[in-house]
C-alpha cells in the first residue's frame, strides 16, 4: 500500500479544481488520506435527469471505493451497471470570521472522486466486501460476530467504484484579510471545529463478563473521529 | 416563522424514504430544524450526464435554501437557470457496533431537499442574501464589517432554491440486535459522535483593544456546532 507522493490522478475538466487552484491536490497520498479519515460520504447519481445526493458509509481498498445499502434502496437500484457517480468526503476544520464579509470562510479538506458504480455480483467478492465493511472500521471484528445469514447477505448490496479521477481541495489558512483591512478595528477569529467520539456506551443487554475487545482501542472517548478511523484503516489494511 | 408540525412537504417517488419507512419524516418542523442545525451541505447537480457532489455552505429562509460560490466555480456555472438540484445535510450522531455484521449501523439525522437552482440576478436581492450569508451564522455581524466592494459582489454568485420536496431520515436507536443474538457472548456498544467547537483563536493581527462581540456568544468552546448554529439561526431570523 506504499504510495509515492508524486503518483496521482489524471487531471481533466471533470476533476480540476476550478477556482482557487492553489487549494487543489491530485496525488494519491493526499486524496487517499482524506478518504481514509472518513466513514461518511455523500454519493451523487442521476435518475432520469434528477440528481440525488445520498449520505452513506464507504471504505477504500487501493483505488477502489465501496459502499453498501439495502438492495431495495433507490441509490442501489440506480448504481449497478456502471452509471457515473461522484463520491465526496468533507472534513470541516474551522469557521473563519474575517474583517469583511467576502473574506469570511472556513478551513476544510474535501475529496471528490469520480467513477462508474457497479454492483458486486460475485458471491465471494461480495462476502469479502461485507467482512471489510465492518473490519475496516473495527479491525478483526467480524471473526467474533454471529455469522451472516444467507438472507442478510441477499438483503445487502455492495457497490464498487474504481476511482477514475479525483481531486482534493484543502484550505488551512485561518483568517486572511485584505492587507488594508488589518488596520480596521474589527474583531476577527478562527473557531476550530472537530468531530470527536463520546464515551462508548456498552449495550445494556451485554452477557455478563463480556468485555470491550482491545481491537476497539482506537475508539476512545474524546478522540477525534478522523484519528480513530485513520488508525483503524492502518490496522485493517496496512499492518496486517 | 411559526410552523405547525403537521405542515409538510408533498411526498412522491422522488423524496419518499424507500427503505426503513419508519425513519422517514416530511413535516416542515423536522426538516427545517435539521437544516438550521447545519452549515455544511452537499449539493448534487448534473453536467452533461455526469453527477457532481459539491460541499458548500448554505442557509435557509422559510422554504428557500441559499448557497453561494465564486462566479467562476463549476457548480455556479451549472446551476443558474432552474436546473434540478439536490441539497443534502447529514448529522452523524453515533457508531453502532452490534452482535452481527448486518446490525452494525449508525445513528444519524439527514435531509435531502429537491428543487430547481436559480442564480439571483436582482442586485438588491443578491446584496440582501450576501448579508444574510454572514448574519445567519453570526447575528448582526455584517453591520460592523468593512463594507463589500462592487468587485466582491460581482465575484460572488448566490444561488436560491425553493424546496419543492424534501425528506428527513432519522435513526436514533443505538444497538438493536436480533432477539436471539442478545444471548451471545459478543460485545456491542454505541459510540456517540459529536462535532464541537474548539477554543476561538483571535486573529493575531487584531487592532489593540478590539474585543470579541457579545453577538458571538453562541460560539463557545466545547459547544456542539449544531447547538451554536441553531441558536444563531433563532437570533437571526426568529427573535429579530
What is the nearest CA distance from A2 to chain B, expressed in angstroms?
29
What is the nearest CA distance from B236 to chain A, expressed in angstroms?
16
Chain A CB contacts of B192 below 8 Å:
197-199, 201
Task: Tell me which of A119-133, B2-16, B43-57 is least confident.
Answer: B2-16
Partners of B117 in beta bridges:
B83, B161
How open is the CA angle B231-A188-A191, to the nearest 5 degrees? 55
pLDDT at A70: 74
Place of cell 467474533: A144
Q: How far apart are CA A111 and CA A140, in angstroms?
A: 28
Res. A5 pLDDT band, cuts 50 70 90: very low
User: Are B174 and A202 a contacting pair at CB < 8 A?
Assistant: no
Domain segments of chain A: what residues?
Answer: 21-195
Residue with the larger pLDDT of the pair B13 and A115: A115
Phi, psi at residue B84, to the nearest 5°?
Answer: -70, 140
The residue-averaged pLDDT of A11-33 equals 89
Of B146, B145, B148, B150, the residue nearest B130 (C-alpha): B148
User: Are A73 and B19 a contacting pair at CB < 8 A?
Assistant: yes
Mutate to test the interface with A, among B46, B53, B156 (most CBs of A within 10 A): B53
User: Are A50 and B14 a contacting pair at CB < 8 A?
Assistant: yes
From its phi and psi, is residue B20 left (phi > 0), alpha (psi between -120 and 50) or beta?
Answer: left
Cα distances (Å, whole numbers) of residue B151 to A5, B69, B76:
38, 14, 17
What is the nearest CA distance from B62 to chain A, expressed in angstroms?
22
| Residues making up chain B, counted from first to last | 240
Handedness of CA B97, B98, B100, B104 (dihedral sign): negative
Cα distances (Å, whole numbers) of residue B144 to A58, A98, B148, B213, B235:
43, 11, 12, 10, 17
User: Are B185 and A130 a contacting pair at CB < 8 A?
Assistant: no
Could you read off the pLDDT of B106-115 as tens digits, one per residue?
A: 999 999 999 9
Task: Write the residue in B44, B94, B101 that is nearest to A145 by C-beta.
Answer: B101
Q: Are the beta carbons of B149 and B75 closer than 8 angstroms?
A: no
Of A64, A147, A77, the residue nearest B100 (C-alpha): A147
Cell of residue B126, nine digits: 443578491
User: Are A210 and B70 a contacting pair at CB < 8 A?
Assistant: no
Task: Write the residue in B50, B73, B210 that is nearest to A19 by C-beta.
Answer: B73
User: What is chain B's mean pLDDT, rounded?
Assistant: 93
Q: How far apart are CA A234 and CA A109, in angstroms?
A: 20
Overall fold of domain B21-190: Pnp Oxidase; Chain A (2.30.110)
pLDDT at A45: 94
Interaxial angle between packed helices A225-233 and A28-36, expressed in degrees from 0 to 180 and rounded to the nearest 10: 110
How much is the pTM? 0.94
Q: Is the pLDDT of residue A27 over 70?
A: yes
Instruction: Give every CB contact of residue A203 below 8 A, 6+ residues apart in sequence.
Output: B174, B175, B177, B188, B189, B190
Mutate to test the interface with A, among B18, B20, B55 (most CBs of A within 10 A): B55
Cell of residue B217, nine digits: 456568544
Could you read off the pLDDT of A114-166 as tens digits, one per residue?
A: 999 999 999 899 999 999 999 999 999 999 999 999 999 988 899 999 999 99
Judged by DSSP in three states, B79 sits in: coil
Of A183, A192, A21, the residue nearest A96 (C-alpha): A192
Chain B CB contacts of A200 below 8 Å:
189-191
Partners of A119 in beta bridges:
A159
Res. B3 pLDDT band, cuts 50 70 90: very low
Chain A CB contacts of B206 below 8 Å:
187-188
Question: What CATH number does the domain located at A21-195 have?
Answer: 2.30.110.10
pLDDT at B19: 73
pLDDT at A1: 39
Task: Write the residue in B51, B134, B193 that is nearest to A195 by C-beta.
Answer: B193
Q: Is the pLDDT of residue B225 over 80?
A: yes
pLDDT at A69: 77
User: Are A201 and B174 a contacting pair at CB < 8 A?
Assistant: yes
Q: Is the pLDDT of residue B214 over 90?
A: yes
Q: Are the beta carbons of B59 and B138 closer than 8 angstroms?
A: no
Alpha carbon B100 to its chain centroid, in Å, reads: 33
Res. B239 pLDDT band, cuts 50 70 90: confident
The residue-averaged pLDDT of B23-36 equals 95
Q: Is the pLDDT of residue B1 over 70?
A: no
From its phi and psi, is residue B62 left (phi > 0), alpha (psi between -120 and 50) or beta?
Answer: left
What is the nearest CA distance from B216 to chain A, expressed in angstroms?
10
Residue in A closest to B116 by C-alpha: A50
Chain B CB contacts of A53 below 8 Å:
42-44, 53, 86-88, 112
Mutate to test the interface with A, among B17, B23, B35, B42 (most CBs of A within 10 A): B42
pLDDT at B20: 76
Q: Is the pLDDT of residue B175 over 90?
A: yes
Chain A CB contacts of B185 below 8 Å:
207, 209-210
User: Are A18 and B106 a contacting pair at CB < 8 A?
Assistant: no
Q: Is the pLDDT of residue A232 over 60?
A: yes
Residue with the larger pLDDT of the pair B93 and B237: B93
pLDDT at B5: 46
Could you read off the pLDDT of A154-206 as tens digits, one per residue?
A: 888 999 999 999 999 999 999 999 999 999 999 999 999 999 999 999 999 99
User: Are B197 and A201 a contacting pair at CB < 8 A?
Assistant: no
Amino acid at each position: 500500500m506504499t504510495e509515492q507522493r508524486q503518483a496521482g490522478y489524471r487531471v481533466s475538466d471533470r476533476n480540476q479544481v476550478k477556482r482557487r487552484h492553489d487549494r487543489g491536490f491530485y496525488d494519491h497520498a493526499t486524496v487517499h488520506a482524506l478518504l481514509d479519515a472518513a466513514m461518511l460520504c455523500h454519493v451523487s447519481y442521476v435518475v432520469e435527469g434528477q440528481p440525488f445526493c445520498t449520505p452513506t458509509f464507504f471504505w477504500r481498498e487501493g483505488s477502489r471505493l465501496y459502499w453498501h445499502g439495502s438492495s431495495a434502496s433507490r441509490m442501489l437500484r440506480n448504481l449497478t451497471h456502471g452509471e457515473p457517480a461522484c463520491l465526496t468526503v468533507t472534513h470541516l476544520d474551522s469557521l473563519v470570521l474575517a474583517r469583511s464579509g467576502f473574506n469570511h470562510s472556513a478551513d476544510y479538506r474535501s475529496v471528490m472522486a469520480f467513477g462508474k458504480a457497479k454492483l458486486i455480483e460475485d458471491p465471494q467478492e461480495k462476502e469479502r466486501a461485507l467482512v471489510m465493511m465492518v473490519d475496516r472500521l473495527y479491525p478483526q471484528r467480524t471473526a467474533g460476530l454471529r455469522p451472516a445469514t444467507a438472507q442478510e447477505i441477499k438483503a445487502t448490496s455492495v457497490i464498487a467504484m474504481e476511482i477514475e479521477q479525483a481531486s482534493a481541495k484543502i484550505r488551512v489558512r485561518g483568517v486572511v484579510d485584505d492587507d488594508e483591512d488589518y488596520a480596521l478595528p474589527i474583531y476577527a477569529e478562527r473557531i476550530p471545529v472537530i468531530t470527536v467520539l463520546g464515551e462508548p456506551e456498552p449495550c445494556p443487554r451485554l452477557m455478563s463478563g463480556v468485555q470491550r475487545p482491545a481491537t476497539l482501542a482506537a475508539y476512545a472517548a474524546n478522540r477525534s473521529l478522523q484519528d480513530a478511523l485513520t488508525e483503524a484503516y492502518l490496522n485493517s489494511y496496512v499492518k496486517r
